[in-house]
Amino acid sequence: KSVYITRTVPEIALQHLKDNGIEYTVWTERRHQSEEELIPILKDYDAIIVSGPLKVNRAFLEACSHLRIVSMMSVGYDNVDVAAAKELGIAVGNTPGVLSGATADTAFLLLLAASRKAFHMHKEIIRGNWNFWDPTANLGLELKGKTLGIVGLGRIGFELAQRCIGAYGMKLIYHNRGTNEEAERELGAVRVSFDELLQQSDVVSVHTALTPETKELFNKEAFSKMKPNAIFVNTARGGIHNEADLIAALENGTIWGAGLDVTNPEPMAADNPLLNMHNVAVLPHIGSATIDTRNAMAAIAAKNVIRTFEGKALEHAVVENIHRL
């Protein structure tokens, strides 16, 4: 049994595979392998551990139908055709839960950075522009008692809300398909329509998956319904906002600021106008990038492979292993 790993992963994943007598190959070059390039290679493998933007679509899965599992080292699986995997009997695993705290921290960091223009100020010092100030310069916004609106309130949103409530006593409203009873009970969350959320929130943070329904959900129309003092935070997927519309909304003062860990496309070009805006904080998709969290994700991704080969149910299944013993 052998596994192909599309990028360098924490050692713990390799250790788990070794301990279970599973051979592996890790692609260590610092470039993304295309789907076409991978298909002929994968004929010799029974499993793949995926991190990054590989398009695991129907054509890819059909060409690699000898794979028994696509093990995502991520919570997101928007790049995987789940229906096709199911039809072809290929399991799909992911790594939810363990990355919620780190991702919520990233959203909180971006929110604070955008509200106080921190990244811009930092660049100003480096540019040699800290020559003078007056009491009306460099002013940001405070978060105390304001309203946090979460679109897609699940585990990550819950942890962000805990931070915002604990630090600033923020009120929590959310827009989900269903009710999040735990958040209503423990955090006093109130479920509202998407439009109500846009109109009432001082901070709008996105934590939903990228799906056909959420693709470019944040467009010109949505931004126009937000408060002029609102901050938009996206740590989910860049495809959920329309980037040209976001840039226009920030330039026109339709909204006040933005904190982005995800962009569209990724990587972002160095001349993107978002990088030179006062009230915008951008990070290069580091939501889950802590040593602890990436170790935990790597361990689950490896265990999902091992469990598939053992004929057992996955630790975390998007599509369950049908060859269970």
* Catalytic machinery residues: 237, 266, 285
- We find the least distance from the C-beta atom of residue 287 to ligand 8YV, in angstroms, to be 6
Using rule CB under 6 A, residue 238 touches ligand 8YV = no
Q: Which of 6, 51, 71, 279 binds ligand 8YV (CB under 6 A)?
A: 51
Between 159 and 202, CB nearer to ligand 8YV: 159
Residues between 108 and 137 with contacts to ligand 8YV, criterion CB under 6 A: none
Between 116 and 157, CB nearer to ligand 8YV: 157
Using rule CB under 6 A, residue 3 touches ligand 8YV = no
Instruction: Choose the stretch contacting ligand 8YV; rule: CB under 6 A; options: 71-79, 115-123, 185-193, 211-219.
Output: 71-79
93/302 Cα distance (integer angstroms): 10
Between 54 and 226, CB nearer to ligand 8YV: 54
CB atoms closer than 10 angstroms to residue 194: 13
Using rule CB under 6 A, residue 64 touches ligand 8YV = no
Q: Which of 13, 90, 99, 260 binds ligand 8YV (CB under 6 A)?
A: 99
Using rule CB under 6 A, residue 288 touches ligand 8YV = yes
Using rule CB under 6 A, residue 75 touches ligand 8YV = yes
In order, the DSSP letters of 114-156 are: HHTTHHHHHHHHHTT--S---TTSS-----TT-EEEEES-SHH
Between 167 and 286, CB nearer to ligand 8YV: 286
227/59 Cα distance (integer angstroms): 44
Residues between 240 and 269 with contacts to ligand 8YV, criterion CB under 6 A: none
Closest CA to 152 of 118, 194, 188: 194
Between 96 and 140, CB nearer to ligand 8YV: 96
Q: Which of 189, 250, 287, 303 binds ligand 8YV (CB under 6 A)?
A: 287
101/288 Cα distance (integer angstroms): 8
**What are the C-alpha distances in Å from 87 to residues 59, 90, 321?**
13, 8, 12
How many residues contact ligand 8YV, by CB under 6 A? 9
208/142 Cα distance (integer angstroms): 26
Using rule CB under 6 A, residue 73 touches ligand 8YV = yes
63/5 Cα distance (integer angstroms): 18
Structure tokens at 273: 């106008």
- We find the least distance from the C-beta atom of residue 220 to ligand 8YV, in angstroms, to be 26
In order, the DSSP letters of 175-242 are: E-SS--HHHHHHH--EE--HHHHHHH-SEEEE-PPP-TTTTT-BSHHHHHHS-TT-EEEE-S-GGGB-
Q: Which of 76, 149, 154, 259 binds ligand 8YV (CB under 6 A)?
A: 76
Using rule CB under 6 A, residue 285 touches ligand 8YV = yes
With contact defined as beta carbons under 8 Å apart, do 242 and 185 qualify? Answer: no
Query: Can you tell me whether residue 295 is helix, strand or coil?
Result: helix
Between 45 and 77, CB nearer to ligand 8YV: 77
Instruction: Choose the stretch contacting ligand 8YV; rule: CB under 6 A; options: 36-44, 85-93, 183-191, 284-292.
Output: 284-292
Amino acid at 261: D
149/207 Cα distance (integer angstroms): 11
Structure tokens at 173: 């409203």
Between 75 and 280, CB nearer to ligand 8YV: 75
Question: Site residues (CB under 6 A) for ligand 8YV?
Answer: 51, 73-76, 99, 285, 287-288
